[in-house]
Every structure is written in structure tokens, then in C-alpha cells.
């Protein structure tokens, strides 16, 4: 059966019967063919061309990938950019000092000369995409090993990316979909001069902290604002005072009329990663081996960091972003364990794989698909313990600067030591800046404790072949003693030692440095693969690809959209309530109010404190034009859109393409959503755009920022 016939059959069988409108992360280039009629029935008033056009301005021109990990949207003709507070967190923390603590106190540029430039921040505009499946798959055969296949595919991808970059003007990425059964290329343009315009204080932007993270009801003003700058011709340029605000092809108008149950809502953004095709064995491995290790190792790192953050304001600012990232995934992974266990997702997948195995072993299918399920299960059985081991060890790289030193600063110094005199002269100033940044962003007592606690946990719990150096330390009961001894002698423990190295560089000093050696050995151990594991991995990769191909061909899967992989997608659904909750003061459990935030208020509490000005505004009902017609100040609302990490900051749009909210979270009840979509429980938590503008205008007094937006009321 041809690929076209398989897709057509899948559409005929499943779109009208099984796939709900709120499920799916869809390619924009296929909206007209696959989704547009359904979206119109739900309330869309735009044409497919108005959503995605190559030759004319469209909605896609207002949506950007923010710094490689989140989504943001243009909301003025002068490049004003809106994203989540937690997406801008790194940049805000970098720009903050104990004397000018923008994380704690917020910041609003009085004019464009006051907009602040972080060291490294960029946004990526989506230009176009196209299908290159036939071209790539024509280069491979079924008789190739996976390694041979991958090599040929990588070579063809490199050619496609070069051909479409227009001499470096564009960034081109070819991405694999449906586990290597389809390929598309994406053309982007990057802008690197992005400046902070405004951010609410932590007590608004991060209200509820870790306690409320992934929970509903939420009362969080999770937004921050930036501006994109370009050269006078509108082209990307490095930071310069000569740059001017970018005039985008399209910016989103903002609708202040509010939302109600059943209203159409679509979200465009860059969802990071879903695994809806993941086999039962993979789900079991995550739930029983990988995720528990992730959760425990993350909590160990968080506890070590928090001690020092609580003692010192400078340390708190330096480690705030790292702590927030670790904490976010710590709670996410525990939620995944709970949800996948509760809904017996692995068991459901196993039942379907049994059906697939029967189909695969029919005479006409056996040669291609007969060993698929067996090879997948053999692989997971062989790698369960390693998955646990790897997660205990990998979290060290998230928590400890020294665990990753050989990949970062150490690698730079090694290259410097091997360079000729001319190149060293050019490298020296950059290295001094890198050394300064390393010591400005790390705090030795915290780093020592993060490393000691993480290594002790790994050695005690990994239950697998340990990295030899760590095993030796732990066997002697000397992890703490040896780590402290390393700090006493390491080049990387003192700035003046590294400065001295720059004057008399020696590769052997880096290679033999105890932290460089430890980091190198950890990385080497993580990537270690026996011949047997290499063989099993090769068989697994092929089997997984064939499983997805076979599930699509047989009709045993209802999924017709590709997994998320940080490429631009559209998801659509409706404003949608969860069952009534006594913790929410709202009349319908699909929105929250500022009064609900006041009800959670705890003075001086790290998570639930609120600014007195905000409390006064609520007391006086001084909401301006941003109040709901019922009189309350809306804060957050729910939709049933299908999103995941990377969609943070994505615009929530009504049927006219007007901005009504800002996506920022999912709900704990549906944490299995990256693996299986629950159409009853899965929700997206959004900041109501009226709350965003209320905070900017009435709370912060920055009405000049609102004035440059296009408001619909």
C-alpha cells in the first residue's frame, strides 16, 4: 500500500470517529486538507491561508520560538514580544543583581532606551516547510543496517539543509517524523537582538511556586515582555545601538471581551516532545526505572541548592533559573509516574501490541513485521537497569557545574592549550570572559554539596555497573573527602588559577585536573555501549520504526498526527471546565479570579506572598477596562488544547486570530499526556490576556506599553 493510500485510509477511518478536535498537534501546511472544516464548525473564522501562507503575511509570522525552548508572539507593529515569565526567567535573572533585583521586584522600561539586553537571547521565525520524505527514503533500502541507513539519511539531510539556506540567510532543519517514516524540512530566520521590556515581580509571575505548579486552580501572572530589534533594513543583526525595533509581517490583535465555556480556542507554538507511539515496554521502563531515579536525583539536587539560596540573595539569583528548571521536571516526572500508573497506560499499549503482533505475523506481513514486538521487548528488558542508572547520573549535569566541566569551560581551555600563539591571542579575552561568567554564576560551597549528595545517591541507588572512579570513592566511604580534596587542588576551583593557566597553558594540567577527569569519565561511562547493547539498540531502532509504520498501515492506531519535536504546530479546542472544585471561588471551574489569589495570600511566604498594591487594587475593584463584564478580575482559564513543554508562552487565539490568553501549564490529572491523550481530563492552563494588560497598566503604571498594542473591545 502506498504512503498516500495509507494516509487517505487513516483519514477516512479515524478522523470522524475517534480523533477528537482537541487532540493533535498539527502541521500548518496540512491545515486546509486535514482540519480546516472541523475548525470552522467549532468557531474558526479564518481561512487556512490566513493561518499559514508562504507568500503573504499570516498568523505564523507572529509566532516565534523563544530562545530555543519556549514560544512567544508579536503583539505590536514595533516588535513587542509576549511570552511566559518562566520562559524569560533566565534572562531576567541574568539582568538582576542584589541591588537591582528584577526577579523579585519586577521591571518596566519607561521607554525603549531603558530596554535591557541579556547576553544571549534569540527568537526564531518560521518561514516555510516542505515534505522531503520521498527524496530521503529513495536513498535507503530495507537491507541496510540502521547505522548504514542513518549515515545515508544524515548525508542527504545535510544537502537539503544547504540547498535551502540561501547561502546562510536561513537556518534549515530537516526533521524525522513517525519514527523515521517521514521527513520534512523547516526554514527559519533567527533574530539575536532581543531586549527585556517588562516583567512582573516573582510574587505575580511565579505566584504559587512549586506548590501550585501543574495544579488547578491557578492564579499566576506567568508572563514577561521583550522586544525584537533588527538592522535598519529589518534584517537580523547582532546587538547595536543603531538597531531599530523589528516591524513584523504580522502581529496579533488583542481581544478584551473574555472567554466562556465552549468558546473556540487555538494555540500555535513549538511543543517540545511527545511520545504517543512509545511501546508498552518503554512506558514501563519510564514508570518503574527511569522516572523514579529522575525524581529522587532531582530532589537531592534541589535540596542541596536551596540551603544556599535561602542564605544569600546573590546565590538565590544565580541559582534561581537552575532550581526552577529542576523543580519543574521533578514535579512533572512524579506526575507522569502517578498518571501512567493510574490509567494503566502500559497495559493498554500492551493489549494493542498483542493485536499488532497477530497482524504482523500474518503470512503477507511476517517478513517485514514478524519480529517487531519481540525485538522491542527484548531491548527494554535488557536496558531497564541502565535507564535507572543513567538518570541518577545524568541529573548531576543539571545540578552541578563541575559534573559537566569537561564539556564546557574545560573543553574551551583544552582547545586554548593546543592552539598556536596567534589563535591564543584571539581566544584569550573570550576565555577570560567565560571564566568570569563561570565564577559569577557558581558558588563553591553549593557546588560541593550538590556534587557530593548527587554522587552518594548515584552510588547507593543506581544498581548497575558504576563509573569506576565513583565506585572506588564510595566503596572507601570517601566521596565527601575526595570531592573536597579535589576543590583544594583543582584549577577550576579558583579564578586566579585559571587566569594563571591562560598565561602558561598546558594541556596536561587540564587533562589531569581532578574535576576535568571526573567529568570526562562520567560522560564516557554514560555513553559506554557493549557490542551486545549496540546490536540490541540497532534492532530496537529498526523495530520501533517498523512498529509505527505497521500501526499506521494496519489501522491499529488512531493517531494521524506526528509526535511533537519542537517544530511549529497548531492545536485547537475549546474553553473547557474541570469538575467543580471548592478551592476555586469562580462560578464555573474554567477560570480563576484575582480574589482567588487573594484567598491564597500568605504574607512573607516565598510562594504565596502578593504585592500590597495588587491587594489594594482588588479591594477597590480598580480593574479599569480589563474586568470581566460580571465585575471580577480574571486571572487564568482552561482550554482542552493538546500541548506540551515548549508550548509555554504560546498564544491562545479566538476564531478571528485575536489573542485571548497565554498558555503556560498543564494539569496534574493528565500528566500522562505526553504518552496518551486523555480527552476528559487533559487541559491547558492559560493566563487571561486581560490579567496581563491589567498588571501592565493598572498595577505597574506602564500604560505606554499597552498603548502600542492593537486592542479589540
Tell me the pLDDT tens digit for each residue of 636-647. 999 999 999 999
Whole-angstrom CA distances from 117 to 59, 76, 96, 478 are 27, 19, 12, 45
Q: pLDDT at residue 441 above 90?
A: no
pLDDT value of position 76: 98
Mean pLDDT, residues 391-407 taken together = 92
Mean pLDDT, residues 487-493 taken together = 94
Task: Read off the pLDDT band of 35 (50, 70, 90).
Answer: very high
Task: Read off the pLDDT band of 75 (50, 70, 90).
Answer: very high
* pLDDT: which is higher, 88 or 11: 88
pLDDT value of position 645: 92
CB 631 within 8 A of CB 675: no
Three-state DSSP at 199 gives strand
Task: Read off the pLDDT band of 17 (50, 70, 90).
Answer: very low
Task: Read off the pLDDT band of 713 (50, 70, 90).
Answer: confident
Name 101's bridge partners: none
pLDDT value of position 672: 84
Task: Read off the pLDDT band of 1 (50, 70, 90).
Answer: very low
Instruction: Tell whether 512 is covered by a domain.
Output: yes
Which residue among 22, 61, 193, 222 is the active-site one? 222
Q: What is the Cα 188 distance to its own chain's centre? A: 18
pLDDT value of position 596: 97
Q: What is the Cα 650 distance to its own chain's centre? A: 12
Digit-coded pLDDT (tens) for 78-136:
999 999 999 999 999 999 999 999 999 999 999 999 999 999 999 999 999 999 999 99
Task: Read off the pLDDT band of 7 (50, 70, 90).
Answer: very low
Range of the domain at 353: 280-531
Name the least confident of 148-152, 487-491, 585-589, 675-679.
675-679
CB atoms within 10 A of CB 596: 20
The Cα 421–Cα 87 span in angstroms is 41
CB 470 within 8 A of CB 339: no
Which residue among 61, 85, 86, 263 is the active-site one? 86
Instruction: Give the cell for residue 672.
Output: 500522562
The Cα 95–Cα 317 span in angstroms is 10
Digit-coded pLDDT (tens) for 677-688:
888 889 999 999
The Cα 183–Cα 174 span in angstroms is 7
Mean pLDDT, residues 438-443 taken together = 90
pLDDT value of position 12: 36
Three-state DSSP at 195 gives strand
Burial label for 171, CB within 10 Å (0-12, 13-18, 19+), is middle
Task: Read off the pLDDT band of 321 (50, 70, 90).
Answer: confident
Instruction: Give the cell for residue 153.
Output: 539519511
Q: Is 250 a catalytic residue?
A: no
Mean pLDDT, residues 288-295 taken together = 97
E strands present in 632-692 = 634-639, 651-653, 659-666, 684-688
Q: Is 648 a catalytic residue?
A: yes
pLDDT value of position 188: 98
Q: pLDDT at residue 20 above 90?
A: no
Three-state DSSP at 645 gives coil
Upstream peptide bond of 217 is cis (omega within 30 degrees of 0): yes
- Residues with Cβ within 8 Å of 1's Cβ and at least 6 positions away in sequence, in order, are 9, 553
Mean pLDDT, residues 262-280 taken together = 97
**CA-based nearest residue to 391, from 514, 277, 301, 324:** 301
**CA-based nearest residue to 280, from 377, 357, 388, 177:** 377
Phi-psi region of 311 (alpha: psi -120 to 50; beta: other; left: phi over 0): alpha
Digit-coded pLDDT (tens) for 645-670:
999 999 999 999 999 999 999 998 88
Residue with cell 508550548: 647
Mean pLDDT, residues 406-412 taken together = 93
Instruction: Tell whether 185 is covered by a domain.
Output: no
Instruction: Tell whether 74 is covered by a domain.
Output: no
The Cα 439–Cα 446 span in angstroms is 12
CB atoms within 10 A of CB 91: 25
The Cα 362–Cα 355 span in angstroms is 11
Q: pLDDT at residue 480 above 60?
A: yes
Name 653's bridge partners: 266, 659
pTM of the model: 0.90
pLDDT value of position 373: 98
**CA-based nearest residue to 450, from 303, 311, 296:** 303
Mean pLDDT, residues 173-182 taken together = 96
Helical ranges in 442-556 per DSSP H: 444-461, 468-475, 479-489, 495-503, 507-511, 514-526, 531-554
pLDDT value of position 703: 97
Q: pLDDT at residue 8 above 50?
A: no
The Cα 341–Cα 348 span in angstroms is 11
Q: Is 86 a catalytic residue?
A: yes
Three-state DSSP at 437 gives helix
pLDDT value of position 680: 84
Digit-coded pLDDT (tens) for 498-542:
999 999 999 999 999 999 999 999 999 999 999 999 999 999 999
Instruction: Tell whether 329 is covered by a domain.
Output: yes
Task: Read off the pLDDT band of 308 (50, 70, 90).
Answer: very high
Instruction: Tell whether 372 is covered by a domain.
Output: yes
- Mean pLDDT for the chain? 93
Instruction: Tell whether 308 is covered by a domain.
Output: yes
**CA-based nearest residue to 176, from 562, 537, 547, 557:** 562
CB 254 within 8 A of CB 691: no
CB 675 within 8 A of CB 275: yes
pLDDT value of position 558: 82
The Cα 176–Cα 173 span in angstroms is 10
Instruction: Tell whether 294 is covered by a domain.
Output: yes
Helix, strand, coil percentages (3-state) for the chain, rounded to 5, are 50, 15, 35
Name 457's bridge partners: none
Which residue among 648, 665, 678, 697 is the active-site one? 648
Mean pLDDT, residues 285-299 taken together = 97
Instruction: Tell whether 640 is covered by a domain.
Output: no
Three-state DSSP at 254 gives strand
Mean pLDDT, residues 476-492 taken together = 92
CB 657 within 8 A of CB 59: yes
CB atoms within 10 A of CB 602: 10
Q: pLDDT at residue 4 above 70?
A: no
Digit-coded pLDDT (tens) for 323-378:
988 998 899 899 899 999 998 999 999 999 999 999 999 999 999 999 999 999 99
What's the total number of domains in the chain? 1
Mean pLDDT, residues 383-402 taken together = 94
Helical ranges in 312-408 per DSSP H: 313-342, 345-360, 366-369, 372-399
Amino acid at each position: 500500500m502506498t504512503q498516500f493510500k495509507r494516509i487517505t485510509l487513516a483519514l477516512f477511518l479515524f478522523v470522524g470517529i475517534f480523533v477528537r478536535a482537541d487532540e493533535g498537534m498539527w502541521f500548518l501546511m496540512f491545515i486546509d486538507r486535514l482540519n480546516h472544516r472541523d475548525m470552522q464548525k467549532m468557531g474558526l473564522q479564518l481561512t487556512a491561508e490566513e493561518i499559514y501562507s508562504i507568500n503573504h503575511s499570516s498568523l505564523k509570522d507572529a509566532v516565534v520560538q523563544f530562545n530555543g525552548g519556549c514560544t512567544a508572539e508579536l503583539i505590536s507593529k514595533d516588535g513587542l514580544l509576549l511570552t511566559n515569565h518562566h520562559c524569560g526567567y533566565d534572562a531576567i535573572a541574568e539582568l538582576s543583581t542584589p541591588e537591582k533585583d528584577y526577579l523579585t521586584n519586577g521591571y518596566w522600561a519607561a521607554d525603549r532606551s531603558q530596554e535591557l539586553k541579556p547576553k544571549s537571547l534569540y527568537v526564531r521565525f518560521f518561514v516555510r516547510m516542505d515534505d522531503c520524505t520521498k527524496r530521503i527514503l529513495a536513498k535507503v533500502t530495507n537491507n541496510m543496517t540502521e547505522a548504514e541507513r542513518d549515515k545515508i539519511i544524515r548525508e542527504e539531510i545535510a544537502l537539503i539543509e544547504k540547498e535551502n539556506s540561501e547561502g546562510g540567510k536561513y537556518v534549515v532543519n530537516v526533521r524525522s517524523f513517525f519514527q523515521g517514516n517521514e521527513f520534512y524540512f523547516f526554514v527559519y530566520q533567527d533574530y539575536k537582538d532581543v531586549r527585556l521590556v517588562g516583567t512582573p515581580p516573582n510574587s505575580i509571575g511565579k505566584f504559587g511556586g512549586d506548590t501550585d505548579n501543574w495544579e488547578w486552580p491557578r492564579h499566576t501572572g506567568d508572563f514577561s515582555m521583550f522586544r525584537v530589534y533588527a538592522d535598519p533594513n529589518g534584517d537580523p543583526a547582532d546587538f547595536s545601538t543603531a538597531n531599530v525595533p523589528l516591524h513584523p509581517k504580522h502581529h496579533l490583535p488583542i481581544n478584551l471581551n473574555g472567554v466562556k465555556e465552549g468558546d473556540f480556542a487555538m494555540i500555535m507554538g513549538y511543543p517540545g516532545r511527545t511520545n504517543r507511539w512509545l511501546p508498552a515496554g518503554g512506558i514501563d521502563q519510564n514508570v518503574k526505572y527511569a522516572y523514579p531515579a529522575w525524581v529522587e536525583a532531582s530532589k537531592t539536587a534541589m535540596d542541596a541548592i536551596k540551603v544556599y539560596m535561602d542564605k544569600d540573595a546573590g546565590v538565590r539569583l544565580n541559582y534561581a533559573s537552575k532550581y526552577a528548571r529542576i523543580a519543574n521536571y521533578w514535579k512533572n516526572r512524579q506526575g507522569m509516574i502517578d498518571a501512567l500508573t493510574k490509567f494503566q497506560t502500559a497495559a493498554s499499549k500492551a493489549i494493542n501490541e498483542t493485536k499488532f503482533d497477530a497482524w504482523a505475523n500474518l503470512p503477507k506481513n511476517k517478513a517485514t513485521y514478524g519480529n517487531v514486538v519481540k525485538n522491542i521487548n527484548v531491548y527494554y528488558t535488557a536496558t531497564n537497569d541502565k535507564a535507572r542508572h543513567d538518570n541518577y547520573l545524568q541529573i548531576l549535569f543539571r545540578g552541578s557545574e563541575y559534573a559537566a566541566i569537561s564539556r564546557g569551560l574545560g573543553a574551551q581551555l583544552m582547545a586554548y592549550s593546543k592552539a598556536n600563539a596567534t589563535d591564543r591571542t584571539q581566544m584569550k579575552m573570550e576565555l577570560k570572559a567565560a571564566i568570569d561568567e563561570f565564577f559569577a554564576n557558581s558558588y563553591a560551597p553549593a557546588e560541593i554539596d550538590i556534587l557530593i549528595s548527587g554522587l552518594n545517591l548515584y552510588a547507593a541507588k543506581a544498581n548497575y555497573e558504576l563509573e569506576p572512579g565513583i565506585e572506588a570513592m564510595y566503596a572507601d566511604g570517601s566521596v565527601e573527602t575526595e570531592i573536597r580534596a579535589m576543590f583544594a587542588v583543582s584549577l577550576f576551583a579558583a579564578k586566579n588559577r585559571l587566569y594563571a593557566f591562560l598565561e602558561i597553558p598546558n594541556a596536561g594540567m587540564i587533562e589531569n585536573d581532578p574535576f576535568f577527569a571526573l567529568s570526562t569519565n562520567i560522560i564516557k561511562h554514560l555513553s559506554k555501549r557493549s557490542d551486545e547493547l549496540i546490536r540490541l539498540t540497532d534492532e530496537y531502532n529498526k523495530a520501533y520504526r517498523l512498529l509505527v509504520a505497521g500501526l499506521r498501515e494496519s489501522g491499529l492506531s488512531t493517531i494521524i498526527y506526528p509526535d511533537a519535536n519542537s517544530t511549529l504546530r497548531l492545536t485547537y479546542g475549546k474553553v473547557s471546565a474541570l469538575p467543580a472544585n471548592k478551592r476555586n471561588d469562580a462560578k464555573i471551574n474554567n477560570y480563576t479570579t484575582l480574589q482567588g489569589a487573594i484567598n491564597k495570600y500568605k504574607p512573607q511566604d516565598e510562594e504565596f506572598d502578593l504585592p500590597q498594591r495588587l491587594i489594594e487594587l482588588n479591594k477597590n475593584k480598580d480593574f479599569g477596562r480589563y474586568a470581566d463584564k460580571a465585575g471580577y478580575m480574571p486571572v487564568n482559564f482552561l482550554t482542552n488544547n493538546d500541548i506540551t513543554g515548549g508550548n509555554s508562552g504560546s498564544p491562545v487565539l479566538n476564531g478571528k486570530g485575536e489573542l485571548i490568553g497565554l498558555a503556560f501549564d498543564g494539569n496534574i490529572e493528565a500528566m500522562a499526556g505526553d504518552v496518551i491523550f486523555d480527552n476528559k481530563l487533559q487541559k491547558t492552563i492559560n493566563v487571561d490576556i486581560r490579567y496581563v494588560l491589567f498588571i501592565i497598566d493598572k498595577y505597574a503604571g506602564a500604560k505606554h506599553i499597552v498603548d502600542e498594542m492593537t486592542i479589540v473591545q
